[in-house]
Amino acid sequence: MFSVAVDGPSGAGKSSVCQAAAKELGFVYVDTGALYRTIALYVLEKGLDPADPQAVEEALPGIQVDLAYTPEGQKMSLNGQDVTGRIRTPEVSMATSAIAAIPAVRAYLLGLQRGLAKQNCVLMDGRDIGTVVLPEAPLKVYLTASPEERARRRTRQLEGSGQPADYKQVLEDIRQRDYQDSHRATAPLKPAPDAVMLDTSEMGFQQSVEALVSLVRKKM
């Protein structure tokens, strides 16, 4: 099985670029952020504080997270209910950044992620895939773009899905999440020492996909 670890900050286009590249390569695209988001949704729905590690850790045994791969992409279910759409709100994004800093949450999701890479050729997207989840992956890519460009893209994406979006607020959220994700004690966002840097600030979507596909083909 061939694994590609793709890490990078929020809104760099990792998910759409990885999804398209995986399709071209015949790989399974694994969106690990969706796993953390599903746990965050559960925590919010139970009225728990996402920043309270003890409360979140105690809730974990009541959470069953499942993934399914369909032609429309990765579907997430939480205790048997499809939550694929509901994990994409700004509230869930913020709560996810908090719960992702909790070591017990990261440990809880580790086996699931490694299991997927054992059974499939994967393009796995996250924050610590090259550093923690798949440190032996033959190809590690750090896919990024400037905060301003990421905020422009996220604003367009939210507007496109009919959600209210304010560029300044989106930029502020991105900066705050970058800070939280890269300053946490457990598995902080950072490039693996042997990661290939792919900055897409000046690239269009198709160009980014081709750049990633070409990196994979060179390594296979």
Provide the binding-site residues for ligand DC, judged by CB under 6 A.
Answer: 10, 32-33, 36-37, 96-97, 100, 126-128, 177, 181
Nearer to ligand DC, 18 or 25 (CB): 18
Nearer to ligand DC, 32 or 209 (CB): 32
Q: Cβ of residue 205: shortest distance to ligand DC, in angstroms? A: 17
Q: Cβ of residue 13: shortest distance to ligand DC, in angstroms? A: 11
The count of other CB atoms within 10 Å of the CB of residue 122 is 25
Nearer to ligand DC, 37 or 153 (CB): 37
Check residue 130 and report its DSSP letter.
I
Q: Cβ of residue 50: shortest distance to ligand DC, in angstroms? A: 11
CB < 8 Å & 24+ apart, contacts of 49-56: 50/95, 50/96, 50/98, 50/99, 51/98, 53/102, 53/103, 53/104, 56/99, 56/102, 56/104, 56/105
Nearer to ligand DC, 18 or 216 (CB): 18
Q: Cβ of residue 128: shortest distance to ligand DC, in angstroms? A: 5
**CA distance linking residue 144 with residue 127, whole number of Å:** 11
